[in-house]
Amino acid sequence: MTTNLNGITLQFHDVGRGPALLLLHAFPLSGEMWRPQLDALGADYRVIVPDLRGFGGTDAPSPDGSMRDLAADCLELLNHLGVERFVLGGLSMGGYVAFEILRQVALDRVTGLLLCDTKPGADTDDARANRLAMAEKALDEGPLPIAEMMIPKLLGETSRAERPEVVRAVRGLIEANSGAGIAAGQRAMAARPDSTPLLPTLRMPALVIVGEEDELASPSDTQAWATKLAHGALHIVPRAGHLPNMEQPETFNATLWPWLNRLNES
């Protein structure tokens, strides 16, 4: 589905019926990375998955992205769909967008928070410089070299050795993006603020999930910041890297689904 909002055409999935769950994707993928959750959770939940600005089927009108725009697009999509209260979920870059949404929205609209393979801190100067260099490369050379660089970081060693179909799927999602969209995403992430001070202010139940083999957001780093959440629970997914929802979807869904059910019972 597509809709026009905030001066762009935004593509999204809106699947199932029940309490709303907004899922935000990682860099440099698209909403399609949530396919295993769209297929499973729609039985009980309304799963809303946008392609963030610059990714998948959503326009990137400017090569200079901002987290504020990505978050504003998501909130405008929820308004368009008539969704007031929702569970907010994001994986990696999707988590950065979730932190920005939490700054923009009345917090009582967010009934639960799902944060996967992400981190609240801002970039170091070195990390920021690397992002800006990757943005230039994406603009000059397109998505193929970006896929080569990112796949070993996104997928854990188990998936790279044993799950060629997951490697192919991730490569396909990256290569379907434009260099301009990838550049805008990197520039938006490079400019993001430190969200660590936000953590103790969040009172909603939170589920934090991380892949055991994640080298971009390690389980030990994740554990350190997750303790700052008032009502947070941490779950580590074995044999998965940075994309546990794609690498080990059964384990991921078996963690997420009962947590969602408990949220909606209370």
Q: How far apart are CA 168 and CA 185, in angstroms?
A: 22
Contact flag: residue 189 with ligand MLT (CB under 6 A): yes
Residue 220: partners with Cβ closer than 8 Å, 6 or more residues away = none
Q: Which is nearer to ligand MLT, 92 or 251 (CB)?
A: 92
Give the residue ranges of DSSP H helices in the chain: 35-41, 67-81, 93-104, 125-141, 143-154, 157-162, 164-175, 179-190, 219-226, 244-247, 249-265
Pick the binder of ligand MLT from 20, 26, 101, 229 (CB under 6 A).
26
242 binds ligand MLT (CB under 6 A): yes
Residue span 65-104 as binding mask against ligand MLT, x where in contact by CB under 6 A, dash where not: ---------------------------xx-----------
Shortest distance, CB of residue 243 to ligand MLT, whole angstroms? Answer: 8
Whose Cβ is closer to ligand MLT: residue 83's or residue 167's?
167
Toward ligand MLT, which CB reaches closer, 83 or 102?
102
Identity of the residue, 92 or 248, whose beta carbon is nearer to ligand MLT in the bound complex: 92
Q: Is 27 in the site for ligand MLT (CB under 6 A)?
A: yes
* Contacts with 261 (C-beta within 8 Å, 6 or more apart), sequence order: 44
Residues 53, 59 contacting (CB under 8 angstroms): yes
In terms of CB distance, is 21 or 91 closer to ligand MLT? 91
* Touching ligand MLT, residues 150-179 (CB under 6 A): none
Quick check: 237 and 209 in contact, CB under 8 A? yes
Contact call for residue 216 and ligand MLT (CB under 6 A): yes
Count of chain residues binding ligand MLT (CB under 6 A): 7
DSSP 8-class letter at 92 = T
| DSSP secondary structure, 170-216, as one string | HHHHHHTS-HHHHHHHHHHHHTPPP-GGGGGG--S-EEEEEETT-SS
By CB under 6 A, name the binding residues for ligand MLT: 26-27, 92-93, 189, 216, 242
